Chains A and B, each alone.
Chain A
């Protein structure tokens, strides 16, 4: 009998903790769940009742959503449901890829320019120039130069996002440099790179992480925009932007070809944004009240 209270108490405490989290951060929990769902969907796409997203069947073209074709079929008779599910892979890969690459490059540039006056003068002028070109336009211009491929899309969007990360990191580094603990580390004879690694870098992580989520969200939209106007992911890859681009001509009679991938894209971006807002609130309580 003595064991019973513990047995009961444990699940209550656990449930309490969960309920508390949901109550305090409902949007973050919702966003994370939605994102997990999308991730699972992307990974498990082959097992979710999909057919080959590339298999063409002209005889079944432009079918309305039905039991056999949940989201209908497109102009080539391809199953829109399967294509949409596989499309999640492209969007998430581009979002993650761009977020990761632009953060790493932006961090490196920001750290260097935050410490070297000469590098700052040269590199930041260049970054200012890049920042004055609207990001989507910059990505379009870069895509116009190269062959359409998923890697090039990631690179083009990364280049247009890097200046913003670099500027953010540089600002943080400049203010950290004046902090007593950095001065103390220097005075105690800590080497330059050690100071950078142990004292500066860890303090840039929080703002960069928040920025990375927003970059992930905007990269997914940019990929869709690029593909939609025909300057992005190669048309044979079923990305959400490509599916919508193919539905353009039939929009008034077969809106579902655009609407379904559009809903998935919006939900995924929403999920990432919610997680980003939550991270920002958690990592920067001062900002939390304001936004």
Chain B
């Protein structure tokens, strides 16, 4: 088990290496000269040349990549072109809202999607099943920001139940914190939930046709015991897998959701950086999100041993 974790950790190195090369190339081939930007409008070509030398911009590609990677490994993601602040600091400032939004969405989505998938599989072919699958197809089709606006229109503008936009830190009170996260979580979580519900249903249907399920029913176990104790337990691995893979949907969704709801998180940071072509920030965000994605999926891989005792490494 321990050896397996080490092996999997090592296997993520080439993947992250490719991400690093890609992200670095982004800055390398980005149009515009950062030295000219830093030097300002009144700079002479000598000034720019001096800054070039200072920043090491004249060095060959591999050398620059080496320096940059060394910095990244030491927690230095470079300096924002626009604000002149360290990228790590900018990201750290924005981390809390994004983590709060992602975690709330994750919890809300999983608590709804898995039971819905289980019920759909249990009542397969009935109107309940059809309804769940219909909602799932809609979830795949309605873009999160369109849904976000519909939700704001109904619950905030018309019914005046929830705040329209913004973010309140949990330190400023739990109730406003949750109130501000309800609509964003629903908008962000719908497609993720649709994916999880579909896989849960598919995986449950597979398991429910097995002999041991019939045995469990035949010996008189209650339906709930069969469903949760026997079926869901055996259907858990594909569900865990899709929770990990689907995280890519959440990360992509965060960027737009934060824009619609004016949540000052990493998504907003990214959008602002794109509009200003602040490449170091874009680099940092891609690195951070990709690393998070790879690590979560690593954790999912490792969780297989807990979910399914037959899996041995």
Contact = CB atoms under 8 A, between A and B. Distances in A.
Contacts of A225: 143, 145, 252, 255-256
Size band of the interface chain B makes with A: 35 or more
Contacts of A258: 146, 149
Interface string A206-232: 000000000001000100110011110
Contacts, number: 144
A140 interface: yes
A68 interface: no
A262 B256 contact: no
A205 interface: no
A144 interface: yes
Given A132-B294, A224-B143, 5 more contacts: A145-B29, A229-B255, A258-B146, A259-B153, A269-B141
Interface of B: 14-19, 21-23, 26, 29-31, 137-138, 140-143, 145-146, 149-150, 152-153, 157, 164, 198, 201-202, 205-206, 248-249, 251-252, 255-256, 259, 270-271, 274-275, 277, 279, 282, 285-286, 289-290, 293-294
Contact of A273 (B137, B152, B271): B137
A135 interface: yes
7 contacts: A125-B15, A129-B16, A141-B26, A224-B145, A228-B145, A228-B259, A255-B153
Given A130-B18, A144-B282, A289-B205, A137 B255 contact: yes
Contacts of A224: 143, 145
Interface string A121-137: 00001101110111111
Size band of the interface chain A makes with B: 35 or more
B14 A145 contact: no
Given A133-B286, A141-B286, A266-B143, A126 B251 contact: no
Contacts of B252: 134-137, 225
B210 to A, nearest CB: 14
Among B19, B143, B150, B201, max chain A CB count under 10 A is at B143
A133 B157 contact: no
A197 interface: no
Nearest to A258: B149
B282 A141 contact: yes
Given A132-B290, A141-B286, A144-B274, A262 B248 contact: no
A217 B201 CA distance: 22
B140 A217 contact: yes
Nearest to B203: A290
Where chain B touches its partner, the secondary structure class is: helix
A79 interface: no
Nearest to B138: A270
A188 to B, nearest CB: 39
A135 B248 contact: yes
Where chain A touches its partner, the secondary structure class is: helix
Contacts of B15: 125, 128-129, 132
B89 to A, nearest CB: 21
Contact of B14 (A125, A231, A262): A125
B239 to A, nearest CB: 14
Nearest to A128: B15
Contacts of A145: 26, 29-31
A71 B21 CA distance: 47
Interface string A225-244: 10011110000000000001
A136 B255 contact: yes
Contacts of A291: 198, 201-202
A265 B143 contact: yes
Contacts of A230: 271, 274-275
A262 B147 CA distance: 8
A121 B83 CA distance: 41
Nearest to A272: B141
A277 interface: yes
A244 B145 contact: yes
A274 B252 CA distance: 23
B287 to A, nearest CB: 9
A130 B22 contact: yes
B271 A229 contact: yes
B275 to A, nearest CB: 6
A70 interface: no
A252 interface: yes
A251 interface: yes
A134 B26 contact: no
B137 A270 contact: yes
A134 B256 contact: no
A256 to B, nearest CB: 10
Given A132-B294, A230-B275, A252-B164, A266 B146 contact: yes
A158 to B, nearest CB: 16
